[in-house]
Amino acid sequence: MTDTLSRTHAIALDAADPLKPLRGEFIFPQHQGADQTYFVGNSLGLQPRGARAMVQEVMDLWGSIAVEGHFTGPTRWMGYHRLVAESLARVVGAQPTEVVAMNTLSVNLHLMMVSFYRPTAERPAILIEAGAFPTDRHAVEAQIRFHGFNPATDLIEVQPDEANGTISMQAIERAIGEHGKRLALVLWPGVQYRSGQAFDLAAITRLARAQGANVGFDLAHSVGNLPLSLHDNGADFAVWCHYKYLNAGPGAVAGCFVHERHARDTGLPRFAGWWGHEEASRFQMAPQFVPAVGAEGWQLSNPPVLGLAPLRASLALFDQAGMEALRRKSLQLTGFLEALVQHRLAHVLQIVTPSQAERRGCQLSLRVLGGREQGRALFEYLQSVGVLGDWREPDVIRISPTPMYNRYRDVYRFVEEVETWAGV
C-alpha cells in the first residue's frame, strides 16, 4: 500500500483540513456510543447545531407577541423568505431576485412547467434522461397528459450510452438535435441521483435554446454539492430541495430559480397566489393579480417560517466556508475514496460514477460485483457496524463523503469495513 492510501495519510489530511471546524457544527447519530460514520448527505443532511436556536427564536416570538411577529424585528415573518435569498443566491450562482425558498420540489416543478412548458401541436415534447428520479418522470408525464398530448410519443428519454450506465454529452446533443423541432422543454438533472453523474448545464442550456426549447434543471443532488452558475448558464428555471446537502431538515422548504429575463414578464402564464402578488399592494386585497418582480412572483402562500428556520442555520455555514473551498475538499475526499476502492476493493466493488472530476460531485455510486443479494448483504453489514450509506434499486450503494462534516478517516473506515465483510 502506498503512503497516500494509508490510515496515517488520512489522519494527516484531516489534521491539515482548513474546513475541519465545520464538523463540530453538526449533530451526528450515535452508534454504540460513538458518532456514526455518515455518508448520506445526498439523502438527508445532518442537523446543524444552530438549527434548534433558529426554530426556538420563531417559537419564542410566536409565544411572546403572536401575530405581531409578522411585523416586528429583523426576522419579521412577512419577509422571512428573504432572509435566505442572498446566501442561497451565492450557493447557486444567481442574483437574489432570481431565487426563492418556497413549497417543495415537486410542487415547484409543476409551477415552473405551468410557465415554461407551453406545448403546441408542433412542439409538444419534453426531453429527460432515462431512469430519471420519479418526481421528474411523474411530473412531466402528468403535464403532457394535462395538455392533451401523449407521453408515449411526447416524453423523450435519453438512454445511457456509456459502459456504467451513464450518459455522454454526445448522446444528449444527438437527442436534442434529433428531436429539436418537437421540443417544448428540456428538463435535466444537475447530478443524476442513481449514478452520481454530473452534467454540463451551460452546454445543455445552449443546445436546448438553439433548438427553440425552454430548459429547466432539477438540482436536488447538485445544490450545496457543486458550484453552480445558474444566472450565467441562462436556463429558464431550476428547482431543488434543501434537505440533502443544504441540511435544512426532513421535508424542508424547497428552492426555485427563475432567470431574470422573465422577472417582469407579466404575460407568462402562471398559477397565481397571494404571496406572489407585488408586496406594495398585496394587502389592498384587490381582485387583480399583479406579480412580484423576479422569482418571488411565483409564490403561492406566505412562507412556512418554522420550516425555513433550519435553512438559515445551514446557509450561515455555507457562507462561512464558501462553495469553492467545499468543492476543493469534495474533490479530495471523493478522489481518496475512489483511489482506495480501485487499489483495495476492485475485486468487490465497481464504481458506476464517472471518474472525471467535472462529471461528478461528492457521491460515488458503487455496485457489488457479486450481484444484488451480495450488495444488500454488504449494505446491511455496513449498517450494523455504524457505517451508513444508502441503497438504490436495483443494485447500487451510494456513498457520499460530504465536505461539510465528513473526514478522510471516515472514508478510510468505510474501506476497512468492506474489506472485513469481504474477508480480506
Pair 300, 346 in one domain: no
Write the single-letter amino acid at 145: R
Report the C-alpha gap between 85 and 97 in whole angstroms: 8
Cβ atoms 398, 388 nearer than 8 A: no
Among residues 415, 390, 401, the alpha carbon closest in space to that of 193 is found at 390
Pair 239, 289 in one domain: yes
Query: Residue length, the chain?
Result: 424
pLDDT given for residue 370 in this prediction: 87
- Grid coordinates given for 229: 452558475
Helices assigned H by DSSP within 80-132:
85-92, 105-116
- Grid coordinates given for 19: 474546513
| Domain CATH code at residue 149 | 3.40.640.10
Report CA-CA distances (Å) from 20 to 16, 23, 324: 8, 6, 15
75: DSSP letter = T
Report the C-alpha gap between 263 and 269 in whole angstroms: 13
Last-in-domain residue among 266, 299, 319: 319
| Domain CATH code at residue 13 | 3.90.1150.10
pLDDT in tens, 275-334: 999 999 999 999 999 999 999 999 999 999 999 999 999 999 999 999 999 999 999 999
Among residues 352, 320, 332, the alpha carbon closest in space to that of 411 is found at 332
In the chain, % of residues over pLDDT 90: 96
Pair 87, 203 in one domain: yes
Instruction: Domain of residue 24: give its range.
Output: 3-49+322-422
State the pTM of this model. 0.96
Pair 37, 62 in one domain: no
**Hey, how many other C-beta atoms are within 10 angstroms of the C-beta on 267?**
6
Pair 203, 310 in one domain: yes
Pair 288, 347 in one domain: no
Among residues 191, 181, 236, the alpha carbon closest in space to that of 400 is found at 191
Pair 240, 363 in one domain: no
pLDDT given for residue 424 in this prediction: 67
Last-in-domain residue among 268, 295, 319: 319
Pair 120, 211 in one domain: yes
Last-in-domain residue among 269, 297, 319: 319
Given a cut of 70, the residues of the chain with pLDDT beneath it are: 1-2, 424
Pair 42, 159 in one domain: no
**Count of domains forming the chain:** 2
Place of cell 456513498: 399
| 221 half-sphere exposure, CB direction, 13 A CA radius | 25
Q: Is 372 helix (H, G, I), strand (E, B) or coil?
A: helix
Pair 60, 202 in one domain: yes
Pair 415, 384 in one domain: yes
pLDDT given for residue 3 in this prediction: 87
Alpha-carbon Rg for the chain in angstroms: 22
β-sheet bridge partners, residue 364 = 399
Pair 141, 250 in one domain: yes
